[in-house]
Structure 1
Amino acid sequence: MPTTQAIPRSSSSSSSSSSSSSSSNLIKQGAFWTAKQRDGHSIHEISYRACYKPQLPAYFIQRYAEPGQLIYDPFMGRGTTLIEAKLLGHNVIGNDVNPLSTILTAPRLCEQNLEQIAHRIESIELPKMKIKDEDLLVFFEAKTLRELYGWRSYFKARHKAGTFDTIDAWLQMVACNRLTGHSKGFFSVYTLPPNQATTLNAQRKINAKREQKPEYRNTKELMLKKSKSLLRQALPENYNSTSSTLLCRSADATPEIKDESVQLIVTSPPFLDIVNYVGDNWLRNWFCQCEPEPGKLWQLRKLEDWTEKMTASLQEMARVLKPTGRIALEVGEVRKGKLKLEEQIILAGQAAGLTVEYTLINSQSFTKTANCWGVRNNTRGTNSNRIVVFKK
């Protein structure tokens, strides 16, 4: 059962800690949403590093927003908050400095027609391409790799001609998601899960250890199969009637968003340097011909640098938040639990002029279903989310 308690806020080396160390932070702890791994709408099922379940934003959306109000995610990732908000009848704004985020999110914010997708896939004659980088054969069989070059050429030509449309965007998103994985549903030989591309040398070692080599994968067939899976559940009738806006900029400077226009912000910022969003997505960036600007994506080792960035971002969130609105910011324990980011995010929020309402710790036990990280099937595990809720 969920519990609530007031826990004194621990002190910090930050200069602002002395003024707040005597105050308390209300803690709500328990299982606040389902632990089932796939209990959300099928349209969510696109993999991305460090993403949370759709039940997390749904919990806060259903408590703090009325249908039609504006929901915002300044670090949108794969777009979980935005899509869940659209499913619940809200207008949405999303932002992420990584352009790959827009590629993965935008096609799922509008209703898609499976028959039109199937017809487009069938009608496309992929250009015959030569393999330019033979190192990629460590992941892909030669014919498969030539098809991937063909898809890259097709999308580039459509962009250049100004004919790249929502169906093309959907196909690019699906193909990007099918690049690498650990089953025959992906274009690659067995490798890491699809949210993380390993290095060429590491893949060579995987191939040698498993005594495997890439087999041909029919990219069109797999893209259609994944499209059917994503669209297997019907979308709400009003899904297209609500608005969607996507930005690609730093979260501390979003002038496109009006003052006090957002009812609720649900997001999760980068956890220091824990996730390498460029390195983990290098194959996706190659396929989408997408190059994040150097230094734009956060890879911050120093806690004070991270706190400074988050303070500036929270100041911007405070600007766009309605007086009655809320910010639900999911953070976590890093560096083997030695560093609790919620303590730092509370200080950053206070420096930005926000008030902490409570910290919610969602803790659940579940059965792990994958052994790709050396964990046996049916082993019990723990999934935990730590969310700090702010108000003005």
Structure 2
Amino acid sequence: MELQEFDWSDIIWKTNKKRWINSLHAMCSYLAMFPPSLPNYLIKQFSQPGEVVFDPFSGRGTAPLEACLNGRIGIGNDLSPLARILTGAKVNVPQLQNVTRRINQLEDNYTYTDVLNVEPNIKMLYDEEVTLPQLVYLKNNLKIKNKVDQFIMGSLLGIMHGKIRKDGTSMYLSISMPNTFSMSPNYIRNYIEKNNINKIKNDVFEALRYKVNLLYKEKSNNYVKGKAYGFDAMKINYNRRIFKENYIDLIITSPPYLQVINYGTYNWIRLWMLNNIYDSEEINEKLKSNKVYTINRELKLKDELRLKEYLEFMKEVILGWERILKEDGMAFVIIGDVSNYNNKYIKLAEEVWKYAKNYTSLKLIDIIEDKIDTKTKVTKIWGNKKRGEATKIDRILILSKGNGRMPNYTTNIRDHFSYFYK
């Protein structure tokens, strides 16, 4: 099907986004996340209850959670251990009473934990009399393979750092700093010295109970349990123990952006909490290496990634979808434009399709533009210079296996989808 022109000026996931925010989405903030209203809308339009929705780059689990909340089987995958835990906690939510009971049990069994050997970069963030010893205790005692402990860990990661209120109180555990990402240690150290910042003494168990109760504020009677994995985005497509052929109904995903983010660097505090399984540099390297079967070499996914390597990586990911998508399955791929790549402006979604179309049997339905409000972007706090490097326009690459699906028309904007099957 040839690309169709269409006016998406009244995009439903922007105009109705507040209506679709479930409290579980607020477990932990995350860089480069799309609004829950986007997968909510696509899931309702292009899938039925009980069907399978997959996000191979799941981040904090927004798309898989929306699938689960709407009676679909949400499956998320991400190489980052932080993303894997957040997705896993959201697609396998335990009962609130079980979470509360476990927090109380941990508190009852708590004994002061020495923080002498904790690295200085962590010590400068937390009160060493109450808060940090409790964090180290939980770090050593939470078993994240258990779904209750995984949920508690995901909740704890969400309050590891954030801003202090004007009255000096905070639901977060650290000195005042952004809750979305970890500032660099040197920046934080200089900021503390310059502004004479004091640590706050927060009881972690009390803060956890408060956070957890907020997450269970809204319930969904349609919730269906999903799954979370931590595989390479290409390799999982060929893992027959996970995906049979023609298994996935809908793919909704946002791959790593070109020339924007090092996920390990900006999550070093939360990664410390994950029992030192990985440090930030290990995460950066882990996310950069993706084995490509057809060319038998390592591709590098990083801030200054060469365009050709990114396109080759995305081509291989898309080829894997041919096996796992059902005969009428569809994929919605959100890819940000790159405004300053070798002094060029690149519509990356269009470049991905130009590169992949001669290799894949998947069909192009459309590529639509989704402008981003830069005033609300997390990266605005870096100032105008950095803000100019951030993605200002997302494009949604829409692919189908076979002829794809007619939308369910669950909203009052039927005309917005009439162009799909002219």
Range of TM-score over shorter length: 0.7 to 0.9
Deviation at 1:275, TM superposition (A): 0.9
Match of 2:231 in 1: 249
Residue in structure 2 matching 1:181, options 162, 179, 182: 162
Q: CA 1:273–1:72 in structure 2 vs 1: closer, same or farther (change >3 Å)? A: same
Shift of 1:87: 0.9
Measure how far apart 1:347 and its partner are: 2.1
Task: Tell me how far apart the structure 1 counterparts of residues 347 and 36 of structure 2 sit (CA, whole Å).
Answer: 23
Aligned partner of residue 29 in structure 1, secondary structure: coil
Candidates 339, 346, 351, aligned match of 2:346: 339
1:260 aligns with 2:246: yes
Query: For 1:136 and 1:226, how far apart are their aligned partners in 2?
Result: 22
Q: Who is 1:13 aligned against?
A: none
| Corresponding residue number in structure 1 for 2:324 | 320
Deviation at 1:190, TM superposition (A): 0.8
Correspondence list, 1:13-32, <5 A: 24=3, 26-30=5-9, 31-32=11-12
Question: Structure 1 residues 57, 339: CA separation in 2 closer, same or farther (over 3 Å shift)?
Answer: same
TM-fit CA distance, 1:154:
1.2
Per-residue deviation at 1:89? Answer: 0.7
**Structure with the greater relative contact order (CA < 8 A, sep ≥ 6): 1 or 2?**
1
Ranges in structure 2 where 5+ consecutive residues have no aligned partner: 165-169, 289-300, 385-390, 402-422
After TM superposition, give the deviation of residue 98 of structure 1 in Å: 1.6
Q: Are the aligned partners of 2:57 and 2:77 in contact in 1 as well (CA < 8 Å)? A: yes
Is the 8 Å Cα contact of residues 234 and 316 (structure 2) preserved in structure 1?
yes
Pairwise CA distance, 1:364:
6.6
Trace 1:66-145 onto structure 2 (pairs within 5 A). 66-124=48-106, 125-131=109-115, 132=117, 133-143=119-129, 144-145=131-132
TM-score where L is the length of structure 1 = 0.83
SS at structure 1 position matched to 2:287: coil
1:31-69 Cα distance to aligned partner (Å, 9 max, x none): 222357754111111211111111111121111111111
- Kept in 2: contact 1:35–1:366 (CA 8 A): no
The unaligned stretches of length 5 or more in structure 1 are: 1-5, 7-22, 376-381
Provide the secondary structure at the position in 1 that maps to 2:234: coil
* Equivalent position of 1:275 in the other structure: 261
The count of corresponding residues between Structure 1 and Structure 2 is 355
Q: Which moved more, 1:304-313 or 1:205-214?
A: 205-214
Instruction: In structure 2, give the amino acid aligned to 1:32.
Output: I
Q: 1:304 to 1:180 in 2, by over 3 A?
A: same
Residue identity opposite 1:231 in structure 2:
Y
Measured against aligned partners, the alpha-carbon deviations of 1:219-260 in whole angstroms (never above 9, x if no partner) come to 111111111111101122x42xx3422221111112121111
Q: Which has the higher helix share?
A: 2
1:208 deviates by 2.9
Q: Given the alignment of the two structures, is residue 49 of structure 1 paired with residue 31 of structure 2, yes or no?
A: yes
CA contact (8 A) 1:127 1:154 kept: no
The 1:135/1:218 distance shift into structure 2, 3 A limit, reads same
CA contact (8 A) 2:255 2:334 kept: yes
String of CA shifts for 1:129-187, please: whole Å, max 9, x gaps. Answer: 222123322211112112111111112xx47xxxx632211111111111111231211
Cα distance between partner residues in 2 of 1:182 and 1:354: 46
Query: Which amino acid is 1:390 matched to?
Result: L
- 3-state DSSP class of the match of 2:201? coil
Aligned-partner residue type, residue 80 of structure 2: N
* Identical counterparts, % of pairs: 24
